Amino acid sequence: MRFENQVAIVTGAGRGIGHAITLRLASEGARVACISRTEANAKKTAKQINGTQPNAARAYAIDVASHAAVQKLGTQILEDFGKIDILVNNAGVTRDGLSMRMSMEDWDTVINT
């Protein structure tokens, strides 16, 4: 297995591309920290992985735009897994529309996430 004995952090792991990346890393032997803004999505991904690979995944819900939350989570992941080998910085949001028509709040959300 390509990622055996490695620990991966995947942001945006609750849906879409992040979900698929998380499943693939786990299938290749990695233990995975599944990070999503919503706890339910993070838990769903971790449960799916742990169903076939017991204790291979943990769920974490944070807003990755918060520097303090990310620092705290990094410490927690090191405590939970003992190390970090891989980071997939996949989290992001979209606000469909032309940038010139976006509100400043939407612009800040897209850029800061």
**Residue 95: what pLDDT?**
59
**Residue 75: what pLDDT?**
96
**Residue 64: what pLDDT?**
85
Token pair of 9, please? 């952090």
2 lies in a domain?
Answer: no
CATH number at residue 14: 3.40.50.720
1 lies in a domain?
Answer: no
**Residue 103: what pLDDT?**
79
Q: What is the domain count for the chain?
A: 1
Q: CA 113 → CA 4, 52, 59, 95, distances in Å?
A: 30, 31, 19, 12
Is the predicted pLDDT of residue 94 greater than 70, yes or no? no
Once rounded to an integer, what is the mean pLDDT over residues 25-32?
A: 97
Once rounded to an integer, what is the mean pLDDT over residues 40-59?
A: 97
Q: CA 24 → CA 20, 62, 73, 95, distances in Å?
A: 6, 22, 22, 28
Q: Give pLDDT tens digits for 52-82.
A: 999 999 999 998 888 899 999 999 999 999 9
Q: CA 56 to CA 106: how far, in whole Å?
A: 36
Question: Which domain range does residue 47 map to?
Answer: 7-112
Q: CA 65 to CA 103: how far, in whole Å?
A: 18
pTM of the predicted model, to two decimals?
A: 0.83
Count Cβ atoms within 10 A of the Cβ of residue 56 and give its class: 0-12 exposed, 13-18 middle, 19 or more buried: middle
